[in-house]
Amino acid sequence: MFVSKKGLAAVLLFWCAIFIPVYVLAEQMEYSADRGQLLYSLHCVSCHDTEVHWREKKLATSWPVLLEQVNRWQKNLSLEWSSSDIDDVAGYLNATYYHFPISTGKVLGENDTALSGADGN
């Protein structure tokens, strides 16, 4: 049986459409929303009410920037959170307020910024 290039392309596209969202969903589930909510309510909510996430000039504009902002503020407060704590809080905020596509399950390194690599560097 001979399969045309168009037929093969259609089959590949179909399987990619099935499996890629499953991979992305698994990646999105690499945080604990309950732990993120707990950390946020203990350390952040005294200064950040819900309006900070809905304001017009919000600083978090993407998943990497949200991670960067959570990391920045935990450093400013000397909380010494682990990367999973940062992921948990960012994941909680993303699920609750922002709904950004999650591009990675890893927090940015200390010398990285959300703009690293944006210009090819």
Q: What is the pLDDT of residue 42?
A: 93
56-110: pLDDT as tens digits: 667 889 999 999 999 999 999 999 999 999 999 999 999 988 899 987 545 545 4
Contact between 77 and 43 under an 8 Å Cβ cutoff? The reply is yes
pTM tops 0.75, yes or no: no
Q: What is the pLDDT of residue 29?
A: 45
Spell out the domain ranges in the chain: 31-98
Q: How far apart are the first and last CA of the chain?
A: 48
- 16 against 121, higher pLDDT: 16
Least confident segment among 4-8, 25-29, 45-49, 103-107:
25-29
- 51 against 58, higher pLDDT: 58
**Predicted confidence band of residue 22 (pLDDT cuts 50, 70, 90):** very low
Q: What is the pLDDT of residue 79?
A: 96
Using alpha carbons only, give the angle 25, 82, 76 rounded to the nearest 5 degrees.
115
- 107 against 13, higher pLDDT: 13
Ramachandran class of 101: left when φ > 0, alpha when ψ lies in -120 to 50, beta otherwise: beta
